Amino acid sequence: MARILITGGCGFIGRHVAEDLLSNGYEVRLYDALIAQVHDGVAVTLPEGAEVVRGDMRDADRVASALKGCDAVLHLAAEVGVGQSMYEIARYVGANDLGTAVLLEALIDRPVSRIVVASSMSVYGEGYYARADGTIEERVRRRPADIRAGRWNPLDAAGEALTAVPTDEAKRVDLASIYALTKYAQEQAVLIHGEAYSVDAVALRLFNVFGAGQALSNPYTGVLANFAARLANGERPTIFEDGEQKRDFVHVRDVARAFRLALETPDAAGEVINIGSGTAYTISGVARLLAGAMGRPEITPEILNRARSGDIRNCFADIAKARRLLGFEPRFRLEESLGDFVDWVAGSMALDRGADMRRQLEERGLVT
């Protein structure tokens, strides 16, 4: 029976990955620092049968010890949050990139057969856009002057409107935040290590993950959790820009299955693969959908008409490669799968720290 080390294994995604692996006959060891921002005040139920090792990714001795007897690694450990990464730079680079470097050095002496790393859609920056004639623009950036004036949608060089279209793995990266920079460094370090040491390495670029178990009181976690914390406290979800920006939301159970498929599929070695739902949702639409699911349809989102530094306008996944290589197919669509998330929120203590997050960004000039 193969033993799998999951770094960040006590986190939202890690717990679901562990549960999926255990139910499919694997032994699982979870390695996690259990940092206060994510875990304080949160009652976390770990999957029965999972071994837990507490430690920081930068603790070389602790990481090496956790690797003993493991056949593969799923590397999910990371600080998460675009906004916070723009001012806690050393924290993000240290945890994400140095932590990954420590893991890879440890793997030189304790090799495994495969390592799968959690990357992020944030590495794309803006997704693909189509011109009116159908040609694709892959390197689109909004001008600061347009953002300050509330012109949210990117334009082509001639000032013509562009249409957001699904983004595949062939798009060149365009790093718009420190978080994106660290995630790209993580994925590339793992792939380079895999090639150099003949270890099968896979990078999964995750889009917006949702589901029961998210840290509702961490304002830098997923947008759905932020909205839920506001709604649970009778407050309006706050949305930057005009709310019409588009994202791809993928259920955590689908993500967990994708990690197992990446672990088991020989042809995935050396590949970067999008894991999303393949569907685009407007952020304001998601807020209204969640409010309805939580029985609070009268609470409408507060549209700030202000932009946050590091944010992009549109990015949603083309998942053809995941389908082809992994046999991956999303099973839990957002609009049909909010029930377990809403039940989780109802049974949890959701501290609304969204105002604190916004204030921290504004004080540093990171909101336009």
Q: For residues 201 and 73, what is the distance between their CA atoms, to the nearest angstrom? A: 10
Contact 217, 211 (CB under 8 A): no
**pLDDT of res. 47:** 84
Contacts for 157 with CB less than 8 Å, ≥ 6 apart? none
**pLDDT of res. 215:** 73
Contacts for 307 with CB less than 8 Å, ≥ 6 apart? 147, 148, 152, 240, 241, 367, 368
Active site includes 179?
A: yes
**pLDDT of res. 356:** 67
Between CA 120 and CA 353, with CA 185 as vertex, the angle to 5 degrees is 50
* DSSP single-letter state for residue 150: T
pLDDT in tens, 195-223: 999 999 999 999 999 998 887 766 666 78
- pTM for this one? 0.93
Q: For residues 13 and 163, what is the distance between their CA atoms, to the nearest angstrom? A: 32
Q: Which residue has the tokens 């689109």?
A: 140
**pLDDT of res. 118:** 98
Q: For residues 140 and 365, what is the distance between their CA atoms, to the nearest angstrom? A: 24
pLDDT in single tens digits along all 368 residues of the chain = 699 999 999 999 999 999 999 999 999 999 998 875 665 555 567 888 899 999 999 999 999 999 999 999 999 999 988 888 888 999 999 999 999 999 999 999 999 999 999 999 999 999 999 999 999 998 899 988 889 999 999 988 888 899 999 999 999 999 989 999 999 999 999 999 999 999 999 999 999 999 988 877 666 667 888 898 899 889 999 999 999 999 999 999 999 999 999 999 999 999 999 999 999 999 999 999 999 999 999 999 999 999 988 789 999 999 999 999 999 999 999 999 999 999 988 887 666 565 666 676 666 666 77
**pLDDT of res. 217:** 63
Q: How remote is the C-alpha of 105 from its chain's centroid?
A: 25
Q: For residues 298 and 277, what is the distance between their CA atoms, to the nearest angstrom? A: 28
φ and ψ at residue 271, rounded to 5 degrees? -105, 155
Q: For residues 51 and 256, what is the distance between their CA atoms, to the nearest angstrom? A: 18
Q: For residues 164 and 22, what is the distance between their CA atoms, to the nearest angstrom? A: 39
What's the length of the chain? 368
**pLDDT of res. 44:** 66
Q: For residues 61 and 142, what is the distance between their CA atoms, to the nearest angstrom? A: 45
204 DSSP β-pair partners: 118, 273
Among 31, 179, 184, 281, the active-site one is 179
Q: How remote is the C-alpha of 195 from its chain's centroid?
A: 25
DSSP per-residue codes, 253-275:
HHHHHHHHHHHH-GGGTT-EEEE
137 DSSP β-pair partners: 129
Contacts for 188 with CB less than 8 Å, ≥ 6 apart? none
Q: For residues 125 and 360, what is the distance between their CA atoms, to the nearest angstrom? A: 23
Burial class (CB in 10 A: 0-12, 13-18, 19+), 356: exposed
Domains assigned to the chain: 3-363 (3.40.50.720)
* DSSP single-letter state for residue 17: H
